[in-house]
């Protein structure tokens, strides 16, 4: 399983799906800095990521397309050596479920099928630790955890698990590839979207915290590990990409401290959490905006799940995770520069 020789020889042109997203944009950056020719597909209404150096973004070959549009996928994979599939819908809101199921499952199946058809040399599928499933008990999860049907699994988790099944099916059919399972990704991006919103909550002095525990990882580390796995000769494997296991209170407190803001001071019990998501749902009916909290996200905030990262550090000896405290400070510094003008 250890990378040997120069396995990325002949892999010069890489296609990235989801390149306008948070992680996808950092994957584009890593590939460009490593000297690859990079093509990325974007939907017509998607904006280019403005949190990445414009000089990097300008070096990417942008094509209009969608993982649900087979024709555009076939065109995008012409003369491409490898694929990093990071396109996905991440949501815990009922209104997004239909789109999420289609994009995450059918979209992945389309990418896998066309990669096999085009003879793509390697594919990295960006999954999530959510695809490993959650349980009620406090536990440490590694790559050997098997999926079990449970009320604790979110709909997002279900779609990512089914998407992984499409990737495993493709690898069984001869596709050279790996799966990465990042934990909650933190870093500098658009703090109105994705996990970047946690920074906005800290900036706005969000007063509530839970004692729930989760895995967190720096976005640049995920992009780096993904590209290193692409370059390696590793195949038919999955890897948890997790930096540190912290409580949600620790994360919000670290962010607030870096921003010079007040940290959360009011503990949200399970009862308060259940009341909060119901209140947010009612409020959204009047505002027309998505609720800040959903039933699923409230449940996640109370759970305690830790993730073991020893497999990826063993497979990539030169790879090191950025300590979470440092990652948060680096990210907050950039957010301060952007939002204190």
Is residue 167 scored above 80 in pLDDT?
Answer: yes
For 225-283, how does the pLDDT look when each residue is reduced to its tens digit (9 = 90+)?
999 999 999 999 999 999 999 999 999 999 999 999 999 988 876 645 554 434 444 44
pLDDT at site 286:
54
Average pLDDT, the chain: 88
pLDDT at site 280:
46
Kindly list the domain boundaries of the chain, sorted by start residue: 13-191+215-243+306-323
Q: For residue 96, what are the CA distances in angstroms to 13, 127, 157, 166?
A: 33, 18, 14, 21
Average pLDDT over residues 330-339: 93
For 125-146, how does the pLDDT look when each residue is reduced to its tens digit (9 = 90+)?
999 999 998 766 778 999 999 8
Architecture of domain 13-191+215-243+306-323: 3-Layer(aba) Sandwich (3.40)
Alpha-carbon Rg for the chain in angstroms: 19
For 57-116, how does the pLDDT look when each residue is reduced to its tens digit (9 = 90+)?
999 999 999 999 999 999 999 999 999 999 999 887 788 899 999 999 999 999 999 999
Structure tokens at 263: 């940290």
What share of the chain has pLDDT > 70, as a percent?
86
pLDDT at site 1:
42
Q: Model-level pTM?
A: 0.90
Spatial CB neighbours of 270, under 8 Å, sequence gap ≥ 6: 302
CA atoms within 13 A on the CB side of 331: 32
pLDDT at site 208:
81
């Amino acid at each position: 399983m250890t990378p040997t020789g120069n396995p990325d020889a002949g892999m010069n042109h890489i296609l990235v799906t989801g390149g306008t997203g948070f992680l996808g944009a950092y994957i584009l950056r890593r590939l460009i800095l490593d000297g690859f020719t990079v093509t990325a597909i974007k939907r017509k209404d998607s904006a280019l990521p403005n949190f990445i150096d414009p000089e990097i973004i300008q070096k990417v070959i942008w094509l209009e397309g969608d993982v649900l549009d087979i024709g555009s996928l076939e065109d995008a994979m012409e003369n491409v050596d490898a694929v990093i599939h990071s396109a996905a819908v991440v949501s815990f809101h009922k209104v997004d479920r239909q789109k999420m199921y289609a994009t995450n499952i059918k979209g992945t199946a389309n990418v896998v099928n066309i990669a096999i058809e085009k003879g793509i040399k390697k594919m990295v599928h960006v999954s999530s630790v959510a695809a490993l499933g959650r349980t009620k008990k406090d536990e440490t999860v590694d790559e050997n955890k098997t999926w079990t049907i449970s009320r604790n699994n979110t709909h997002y988790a279900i779609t990512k698990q089914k998407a992984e099944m499409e990737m495993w099916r493709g690898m069984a059919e001869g596709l050279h590839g790996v799966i990465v399972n990042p934990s909650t990704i933190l870093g500098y991006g658009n703090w109105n979207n994705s996990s970047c919103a946690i920074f906005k909550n800290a900036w706005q002095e969000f007063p509530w915290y839970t004692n729930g525990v989760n895995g967190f990882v720096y976005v640049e580390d995920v992009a780096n590990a993904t590209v290193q796995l692409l370059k390696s000769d590793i195949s038919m494997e999955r890897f948890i990409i997790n930096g540190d296991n912290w409580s949600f209170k620790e994360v919000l407190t670290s962010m607030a401290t870096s921003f010079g803001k007040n940290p959360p001071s009011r503990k949200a019990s399970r009862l308060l959490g259940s009341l909060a998501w119901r209140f947010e749902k009612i409020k959204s009916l009047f505002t027309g905006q998505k609720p800040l909290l959903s039933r699923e996200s409230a449940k996640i905030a109370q759970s305690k799940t830790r993730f073991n990262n020893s497999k990826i550090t063993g497979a990539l000896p030169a790879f090191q995770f950025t300590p979470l405290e440092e990652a948060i400070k680096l990210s907050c510094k950039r957010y301060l520069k952007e939002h204190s003008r």
